[in-house]
Chains A and B, each alone.
Chain A
C-alpha cells in the first residue's frame, strides 16, 4: 500500500484516535467514555442498535456536536473540534445518512459550496470541476457535473456526497448507514469504490447495523451498546453471532424460524391495479397479485418504487385509478368511494410504514394510542363516553402481552423507544384479529431484540390464518419472513418468486427492473 512507502512521521500514528469521549443531551448520556482507534488506510466498521450512540459519536468527530469531555487526536496531533469547518480542515469528510445536498443546485454548485476559494465563484467552481473529474477517473465516481441534483437517483446522489466529502483531500471518510437506500448492486459498487479509497490511504469509518456488510468489507469493527463501546474486533477474527451478541448484550437468534406456510383461501387480491397522481406521474401500473390465508407475501424493492402507494391504496388512504381490489370477498373498484374506515370494517389491519405520521399520535398517552381507530368499539367502554378505566386496562393487558416497555399506559407515545412504539401499533392491530394484514417497515428504527419479537409475532399471526402483505426496505427481512416475494420497480410488478428460490442476486436484478425468465 502506498502509505507504507512514504515514511512521513504522521504515518506512524493512527488516522484517528478518540480518548474517553463523553456527551450527554440533558439527562440522556448519548456517549460514555468512548475510546476508538482507526488505523491509516483501513475500513473500520461501527455497529450498534438504533440509539446506541453511533451517530452522536460521528457528529462529534465531524464537529457537529461538541464532546463534553475527552480528546480527539488526528494523525498524532490533538485537535479541538468546534465545527464542521474544523473537521474539514483536519481532513475529515462525512457522508450523512440523510444526504446534505441542495436539490435545486447542480452537482458542481453543491461541490463548490464551502470551498468557493474567494468572493467570486469562478475559481472555486473550476477547482471543484477539476476535483470532480479527477475523482471520476481514479475511483469510478462518475456523475454529470452540470446535472441538477433533483434529477439524480439515490446512488448518484451518494456519489456526489462522497465527492464532496473527499474534496480538500480528506484522510478520514465517515459514512453513516450508506447502503440503506441502495440496491444490492449499487451497494456492491459503493464497496468497490471504498476499497480503492482505502488502498489509496484513506481511512474509512462505516456506520451500519447490517452485520453482513461488516463481515464483507471492514478490516476492523467496533461495537457500541447504549452509548458505550463494548468491544473492538478484527473482522477476520469474529463472527456475526459474536457481533450480534455484543450489540444486544445477549444471544440472538439471527435466522427467523421460518416454517413452511400452509396457504388456504385467497383473502386479498388485486388485479390490474394502477395509480396516476395529480401531476400525471404513473406511480402504480397494472399490479396483480393475491395473498392467501396463512401466507406472507413480501414486497421487495428500492424504497420509492411504489411500495408506499400500494400500501396506502390497499388501506384506503389513497385512491387508485384503475383495476380492482378484493378484500375478504368484497370487490372494490376505482369508482367506489373508499375510506380507511370502510376497509378496516372489512377486516383489514394496517401497520403503516411511517408510524410517527400514520400509526401513532405522538403527544397522546399510550392508552389513547392503543384505541386509535377502535374508539367506537367496546374497547373504549360501552357507553357514549370514554371509559378510561376500561381503556387503561385494555392498554395494560396489551402491553404485558406484547412486552411493551416501560409498561406504563399513561406515558406519551413519543416517550417510547422506536421498538416499543412499533410494539404498541402491533399490539393494537394484532388484537383486532384481522383477516388481512398490511405491514409496512415493521422493524424500521427498531432494535435487534424487538426485531426478533416482532418477526415471531408476524409468523404466529400467519400460522393463525391471517393473510399478510409485507413491505420492507430490508431485503434480508423480506427474504426471511416471506413465503413468496413480489418485486416492485417503477411502480410495476417485476415478478413474484417463491421465497426458497430467491437469492440476493436475483432479487437485486429484479429490483433494478430486470424481469426474470424463471419468475414463477
Chain B
C-alpha cells in the first residue's frame, strides 16, 4: 500500500513536470483565442522558444538570457502570425500551420548550421539551466511521516518555471476578468464591431493578446530545453502545443478549467510512462499509443457535444473587416 502511494506520488510529481509547458501554452492560447484568433501556432512558438533558449544558453552560459530570448522568439513568431492574419486578414489556421512548419524547419536548419550535431544543441552545464529549487525546511520536515515526503517531492524540488506556470493560471484569470485589458480581450473575441465602435483599435488589441501569448509560449519552450531538459532536440515540442490547444478547448477557454485539463492530460502521460510494460488485471497491457491519443479523443468528444457544451469565442477565426 505504501508502495502504491509512493508510486502515485511520483506520478503526481511527474504530472506536474509534464503539465508545466502545457499550462503555459494553454494560458497563451487563452489570451489569443479569447481575442478572436485561432492559435494553432502554439506548437511552433513553443518549439522556437525551446531552440532559442538552448542556443542562447549554450553561447552565453546564462539561463536567464536564454529565457529572455526564448520569450522574444515566441513574441516574434506571434507577430508574424499577427501580421498575416490581423494586418493582412489572412486565414488564421493557414497562418498558424505555416508558423509551425517554419519553426520545425528553421530550428533544425539553424541547429545544424550552428552546432553541427544533427539538429541538437550541446548539452548545457548545470549553471546555465534552471535547476530544481529545494525549498526551505525540506530537511526538517523529512522526519514527519507523510507530509515530509509530500513536501519534498511534490511541493519543493521543481525548477523556477514550474512555479511560474502555476502562477500564470491565477494571473491569467485575474487579467482576463479584473482588468481593462482582459475585458477588452474578451470583448474583441466575441464582437469586434462593438470594440471598434467603442473607440478601441481591434488590431492593436489582438496584437497585444498575441504578444502576451507569444511570451508565455517562449517560457514554455525554455522550460523544455533549459529547465526540464539540458539541450534542444529537434521536434522536441512533440505535439505539446496541440495538446495545450486541446486543453484550452477542453477547459472551455477558461483559465482554471484549462489548467485542470492540462493536469489531466499531464497525468495521463505520466501514467502511460509508468504503465509501460505492466499487465493490468483482466485488461492486459494498455498500448501507449492509446493513452497518448486520449487527450485528442476527449477533445473530439467534447466538440461533438458529448461532454458538456463548448462555448468558443464567437468571433474566433474571423478577420475583422470594418
A positions within 8 Å CB-CB of B: 62-65, 83-89, 94, 96, 98, 100-105, 109-110, 112-116, 118-121, 124, 164
Contacts and interface: CB of A to CB of B under 8 A. Distances in A.
Given A64-B322, A104-B190, A113 B178 contact: no
A105 B200 contact: no
B183 A84 contact: no
Contacts of B196: 64, 84
Contacts of A114: 195, 198-200
Given A63-B199, A96-B193, 7 more contacts: A84-B196, A101-B194, A109-B183, A113-B183, A113-B194, A114-B198, A121-B180
B181 A119 contact: yes
Given A102-B194, A103-B190, A118 B199 contact: no
Given A116-B183, A119-B179, A120-B180, A85 B194 contact: no
A184 B183 CA distance: 36
B143 interface: no
A394 to B, nearest CB: 37
Determine which residue in B193, B195, B198, B314 has the highest number of CB atoms from chain A within 10 A of its CB, and name it.
B198
A102 B181 contact: no
Determine which residue in A83, A89, A104, A114 has the highest number of CB atoms from chain B within 10 A of its CB, and name it.
A114
27 contacts: A62-B197, A65-B322, A83-B201, A84-B198, A85-B199, A86-B199, A87-B199, A98-B193, A100-B191, A100-B197, A100-B198, A101-B191, A102-B187, A104-B311, A109-B183, A110-B194, A113-B183, A113-B194, A113-B195, A114-B195, A114-B198, A114-B200, A115-B198, A120-B178, A120-B180, A121-B179, A121-B183
Interface in B154-199: 178-181, 183-184, 186-187, 190-191, 193-199
A113 B190 contact: no
Nearest to A59: B322
Contact of B187 (A88, A113, A120): A113
Nearest to B198: A114
B187 A105 contact: yes
A94 B181 CA distance: 23
Contacts of A104: 186, 190, 311, 314
Nearest to B313: A104
Contacts of B197: 62, 64, 84, 94, 96, 100
A341 B200 CA distance: 49
Contacts of A105: 186-187, 190
Contact of B194 (A62, A100, A115, A118): A100
A116 B191 contact: no
Nearest to A114: B198
Given A113-B195, A120-B178, A85 B200 contact: yes
A120 B179 contact: yes
A88 B196 CA distance: 12
Nearest to B184: A113
Nearest to B201: A83
B200 A102 contact: no
A266 B179 CA distance: 63
A296 B49 CA distance: 69
